[in-house]
Copies of this chain bind each other. A is one copy, B any other.
């Protein structure tokens, strides 16, 4: 573990660390915000998963989350969105390869060797974070767009691991939209049945834990109709009896201006669940 950035921020510390990931077979950077309360004792951890084209920087520089994390005493961990490096498979498109890991374990070459973001987020990263920072066992998870998909899928597949889950503008049904179809075809192959293990709308149907889902979606989001389709999650939750709070936010788009506007409410939601 090598610290590559450290900045005082809202009385705490915004840091970026680098480590050699055994899961992903490459060096990975991740960001961690330590609130002022972490100097006194352990704090719950909110994991944030970013969207397509992002790395560990976007959320920490643009969302303004540190103000609320400092207020509530929450550690926030923001990893990169894919394996990286010269030896890691890539694609020229913005929505495949580096920057577009989709938080799954790829089964098809050339992707399978490194693209195991699911195992990284579920196993390696929390173990690393718990070993190096003053964490309690309480965890929450959230994310944006592809990262909202990741947060929902990871929470639904791991009952008991998280006290809370939320998402901004998530890709709720990747099996049914162009971004997901392209990525899943490449990473998982053509067996659409296998895709359902990575699709929140399918996972809700068989969830054994009814962890409430909080989803914010802007109604001026350019990707709403083609890629996001939150009504598919609403329908799946209604059918399964899974608790969902889906808030359509009037006039908001897909940008970090939207995330910044509501991240305070999300962090309060997670803090209540993690500290309650």
Contacts and interface: CB of A to CB of B under 8 A. Distances in A.
A260 B9 contact: yes
A253 B64 contact: no
A220 B249 CA distance: 40
A61 B64 contact: no
A7 B61 contact: no
Contact of A260 (B66, B218, B257, B261): B66
A30 to B, nearest CB: 17
A256 interface: yes
A4 interface: no
Contact of A11 (B7, B9, B261): B261
Contact of A220 (B8, B64, B218): B8
A12 to B, nearest CB: 9
Contacts of A256: 61
Interface string A239-266: 0000000000111110111101100100
In this complex, the member of A220, A250, A257, A264 whose beta carbon has the largest number of chain B beta carbons within 10 angstroms is: A257
A62 interface: yes
A111 interface: no
A252 B67 contact: no
Given A61-B61, A64-B64, A218 B257 contact: no
A159 B258 CA distance: 38
Given A61-B62, A62-B61, A67-B67, A258 B10 contact: no
A14 interface: yes
Contacts of A7: 252-253, 255, 257-258
Nearest to A264: B67
A33 to B, nearest CB: 10
A64 B69 CA distance: 14
Contact of A8 (B11, B61, B64, B251): B251
Contacts of A11: 261
B253 A8 contact: yes
A247 to B, nearest CB: 14
Contact of A64 (B255, B258, B260): B260
Given A7-B257, A9-B260, A66-B257, 5 more contacts: A8-B218, A8-B251, A8-B253, A9-B261, A14-B257
30 contacts: A7-B252, A7-B253, A7-B257, A7-B258, A8-B220, A8-B249, A8-B250, A8-B251, A8-B252, A8-B258, A8-B261, A9-B257, A9-B258, A9-B260, A9-B261, A10-B261, A11-B261, A14-B257, A61-B62, A61-B256, A62-B62, A64-B64, A64-B67, A64-B260, A66-B257, A66-B260, A66-B261, A67-B67, A67-B260, A67-B264
